[in-house]
Amino acid sequence: MIKMTEFAKRRKQLIQKIGSNGIVILVAAPIAIRNNDCAYFYRQQSDFYYLTGFEEPDAVAILLPHKKNEKFILFNRTRDREREIWDGFRAGQEGACKHFGADEAYPIEALATRLPEILEDHECIHYALGLNKSFDAVLMDSLNTLRGRVRRGSESPLAIVDPSHTIHEMRLIKSSAEIALMRKAAEISVDAHIRAMQFCKPGMNEYQLDAELSHEFQRQGARFTAYHSIVGSGANTCILHYHNNNQVIQNQDLVLIDAGCEYQYYASDITRTFPANGTFSADQRAVYDIVLAAQEAGIHTIKPGASWIAAQQAMVKIMTQGLIELGLLKGKLATLIEERAYFPFYMHHSGHWLGLDVHDVGRYKALDKWRTLEPGMVLTVEPGIYLSRDIPGIPKRWHNIGIRIEDDILVTETGHDVLTKRLPKKIKEIEGLMAQ
């Protein structure tokens, strides 16, 4: 669990980075309707959660410098007996101060009238315009109100700056409490993948394996997936973000599962590919071993000071060489890499940052240079080869062999730690597990 003191520390750090003339405004995620008056399960916006720990909708957080400390003002929902009977507990203003460390809290309904006076005399508003159009309008109205008060001696802000970059650089380096949650998320997801492999039988529907994943996630306290689980068999293994998960698994199929739980807001993201009947065919095996060798080489590059792009370069080299050996590419290795000839078979990046969001925030490039890795970063390494029957000229024996292998990697002081290493990925281990 992330302690309230850690949320407070983050707010302090952010305010120090923003400077004494700035003010930060963060808006809670809106409620999303699924049908009529039924909403999707509410999930707080990640930046808002990162800085407040507050999980309710209809909230606006304002951070401003105040002598040597930051001041944290929360606008949130009021306690409401009638609504709480129907929808559940609300913290209210008292709870915002008592349990979430707000210095002041006001009903959300008071926001539009109070905002101008809060903004007054701050040179720079740090706010991510465009993400929440209804709050954008409230902010613009407040600025107009301030402009109208200029003859009273009020100063209206000079600039609106997006704070996302600053917040996201903070989020990119995980604290020990965050790493503990990500380890837990990874462990639960490992168990879920093991369960799915052990339950898999030809004739099942993909959604029945999806159910086994969800069962294990929830059984262990991870109420949600970090993204829609991808359970694809046969031709669906070649659809990168397949999530219909509604086809019957055939005896000769491969099954690709890309699934990870979210545990206390932190994501995991694992992919394994295995044979539906428990035994890889010779052709499936040949492609699998290329992807596995690439993934191991990609992971091997990860250490502090290494370039973000090193994993991709290592993996492209091995997979291009492998595609030559399979007869699917012809030519010189260096030329094929240069011309990105592998692209019809491997068309995505090596992976992504992982954290509160599955595709977590933080830059990959700065000043046109790929950034270097630092301890505390968490990223995925996930090469794949997708031999879709729709690729022109591809011989039938390779049709529908789609393979991806994905693990979650923490950059440590001395190298890396694969958070998902307990999950088998060698052919022998997978076949052994499925035979049990």
By the criterion CB under 6 A, which residues form the site for ligand GLY?
227, 258, 269, 352, 382, 406
Q: Max alpha carbon distance in the chain (Å)?
A: 81
Handedness of CA 143, 148, 154, 156 (dihedral sign): positive
Out of 178, 253, 258, 407, the residue judged to bind Mn ion by CB under 5 A: 258
* Nearest distance, CB of residue 269 and ligand GLY, angstroms: 5
Find the shortest distance in angstroms from Cβ 227 to ligand GLY. Answer: 5
Task: Say how far apart CA 370 and CA 240 lie, in whole Å.
Answer: 24
| Least spacing, CB of residue 202 vs ligand GLY, in Å | 25
- Is 228 considered catalytic here? no
Q: What are phi and psi of 54, to 5 degrees?
A: -90, 130
- Alpha carbons 177 and 265: distance in angstroms, whole number: 12
HSE at residue 430, side-chain half, CA atoms within 13 A, is: 26
Q: How many residues bind Mn ion (CB under 5 A)?
A: 4
Shorter beta-carbon distance to ligand GLY: residue 178 or 258: 258
Nearest-angstrom CA–CA distance, 86 and 88: 6
Nearer to ligand GLY, 160 or 224 (CB): 224
What is the closest distance, in whole angstroms, from the C-beta atom of residue 265 to Mn ion in the complex?
17
Q: 16 and 67 in contact (C-beta within 8 Å)? A: no
Question: Is 223 assigned a catalytic role?
Answer: no
Rank residues 343 and 432 by Cβ distance to ligand GLY and give the closer one.
343
**285 to each of 144, 149, 157, 288, how far by Cα in Å?**
66, 73, 63, 5
Minimum Å gap between C-beta 255 and Mn ion is: 15
Q: Which does 187 bind (CB under 5 to 8 A by kind): ligand GLY, Mn ion, none?
A: none
What is d(CA 178, CA 180) in angstroms, rounded to the nearest whole number? Answer: 5
357 binds Mn ion (CB under 5 A): no
Rule CB under 5 A: say whether 380 interacts with Mn ion.
yes
Query: Of these residues, 79, 195, 359, 399, which one is catalytic?
Result: 359
**Catalytic-residue membership of 216:** no
Task: Please tell me the distance from the alpha carbon of residue 108 to that of residue 61, in angstroms, as a whole number.
Answer: 10
Separation between Cα atoms, residue 373 and residue 303, nearest integer Å? 7
Residue 253 annotated to the active site: no
Torsion, Cα 35 205 397 237, to 10 degrees, reads: 40
Catalytic-residue membership of 300 = no
Q: Which is nearer to Mn ion, 216 or 406 (CB)?
A: 406
Q: Which is nearer to Mn ion, 77 or 404 (CB)?
A: 404
45's tokens: 């916006």
Span interacting with Mn ion, options 156-164, 214-222, 288-296, 405-413, rule CB under 5 A = 405-413
Cβ closer to Mn ion: 178 or 382? 382
Task: State the catalytic residue, choosing from 83, 99, 241, 397.
Answer: 241
- Residue 348 annotated in active site: yes
Q: Which residue is nearest to ligand GLY (CB)?
A: 258
What's the burial of 255, exposed, middle or buried (CB within 10 Å: 0-12/13-18/19+)? buried
Minimum CB–partner distance for residue 166 and ligand GLY (Å) = 25
Three-class SS state of 386: strand
Active site residue 84: no
How would DSSP label each residue in 230-257? EEEEGGGGG-TT-----SBPPTT-EEEE
* Residue located via tokens 């000769």: 252
Query: Of the listed 348, 349, 371, 399, which one is catalytic?
Result: 348
> Where does residue 286 rank: exposed (0-12), middle (13-18), buried (19+ CB within 10 A)?
middle
Q: Do 351 and 382 meet the contact criterion of CB atoms below 8 Å apart?
A: yes
| Active-site option among 269, 296, 360, 408 | 269
**Pick the catalytic residue: 406, 407, 408, 416?**
406
Closer residue to ligand GLY, CB minimum distance, 137 or 347: 347
Nearer Cβ to ligand GLY (277/388): 388
Assess whether 386 carries a catalytic annotation: yes
Q: Which stretch binds Mn ion (CB under 5 A): 90-98, 128-136, 266-274, 316-324?
A: 266-274
H or E element at residue 380 = strand 378-381
- Residue 359 appears among annotated catalytic residues: yes
**Which of 120, 212, 253, 258 is flagged as catalytic?**
258
Least CB distance to ligand GLY at residue 224 (A): 14
Q: Active-site positions?
A: 37, 241, 258, 269, 348, 352, 359, 382, 386, 404, 406
Residues at the contact surface with Mn ion, assessed by CB under 5 A: 258, 269, 380, 406
